[in-house]
Structure 1
Amino acid sequence: MTMEAQIDWQIGKSLSDRMKYMLDNQLMCDVTLHVGSDKSTIKAHKYMLAIASPVFYRMFEGPLSEKGDVDIVDITPAHFNMMLHVDKDHACTVFQTAHDFHMTDLKEEALDFIFKNGSASLVSDDFLYLSGDCLKLILESDQLYCDETTIYQRMVQWAKLQCEEQSMPTFDENVRKTLGDLIYLIRFPIMTPKYFTNEVSSQEILTDKEKVGVYEHFNGKQTDIFISKHRKEHIHNEIYEEDAEQYGEDDVQYEEDAEQYGEDDVQYEEDAERW
Structure 2
Amino acid sequence: MALINSLKHSLFSGELSDVQFMVGRQFGEAKPFSAHKYVLSLRSPVFRAMLYGTLAESAEKTIDIPDDVPDAFSSMLNYLYTDSIEDLTVDNVCATWMCADKYDLPLLVDICCDYVTDQLSVDNCLTILEDGIQRHAEGIIKRCLHFIDGFAERVLRSEHFSTIGHKALVMILGSDTLFAVEQNIYLAVEKWAQEACKAKSMDSSGASRRQMLGEALFLVRFPLLSNAQLADGPAKSGLLLPSELHDLYQYQSTQVKSPSLPFSTEQRRAPSFRIGNTVLQYKEKVFVQRSDCPDIWCAGEVVGATRRAFRCKWYDTYARYGPFGGGSGEDSFVSEKILRAAEFMIRGQEMLVRKEYTYTPVLYSRPTAQADYHVVQYWGSLWSFHFHDLAVADDIVTMFRATGSVCRSKCYK
The bucket for the TM-score relative to the shorter chain is 0.5 to 0.7
Cα deviation, 1:152-200, whole Å, max 9, x if unaligned, reads 66676452xxxxxxxxxxxxxxx26x75556424843x13678546434
Which residue does 1:25 correspond to in 2?
13
**Cα pair distance change 1:208/1:44, threshold 3 Å:** closer
| Structure 1 residue matching 2:303: 3-state secondary structure | helix
Work out the CA distance in 1 between the residues paired with 2:140 and 2:176.
11
The gaps in structure 1 that reach 5 residues or longer are 1-8, 160-174, 217-221, 248-275
Matched, 1:229 2:271: yes
Which residue does 2:188 correspond to in 1?
199
Work out the CA distance in 1 between the residues paired with 2:191 and 2:134.
25
RMSD: 4.2
Which residue does 2:314 correspond to in 1?
240
The structure in which a higher percent of residues are helix is 1
Alignment of 1:158-237 (within 5 A): 158-159=164-165, 175=166, 180=170, 183-185=173-175, 187-188=177-178, 190-191=179-180, 195-196=184-185, 198-200=187-189, 203=192, 205=213, 206-207=216-217, 210-212=220-222, 215=225, 224=266, 226=268, 228-231=270-273, 234-235=303-304, 236=310
Instruction: Give how far 1:237 is off.
Output: 5.4
**Cα pair distance change 1:149/1:54, threshold 3 Å:** farther
Q: Could you tell which deviates more after superposition, 150-159 or 98-107?
A: 150-159
Work out the CA distance in 2 between the residues paired with 1:120 and 1:239.
16
The structure in which a higher percent of residues are strand is 2
Cα deviation, 1:16-75, whole Å, max 9, x if unaligned, reads 454334323334322111222233221112233324433211111123323322111112
**Cα pair distance change 1:73/1:241, threshold 3 Å:** same
**Cα pair distance change 1:68/1:151, threshold 3 Å:** farther
Matched, 1:129 2:171: no
| Structure 2 residue matching 1:93: 3-state secondary structure | helix
| Count of aligned positions | 214
- Checking the alignment, whether the CA contact within 8 Å between 2:24 and 2:67 is kept in structure 1 is yes
The gaps in structure 2 that reach 5 residues or longer are 79-84, 194-212, 227-263, 274-281, 283-301, 305-309, 317-325, 331-413
Which residue does 2:111 correspond to in 1?
109
Structure showing greater radius of gyration is: 2
The alignment-based identity, stated in percent, is 17
- Checking the alignment, whether the CA contact within 8 Å between 2:94 and 2:137 is kept in structure 1 is no
Instruction: Give how far 1:94 is off.
Output: 0.9
Cα deviation, 1:71-114, whole Å, max 9, x if unaligned, reads 11112323322322342223222112222333222112111111
Work out the CA distance in 2 between the residues paired with 1:83 and 1:228.
36
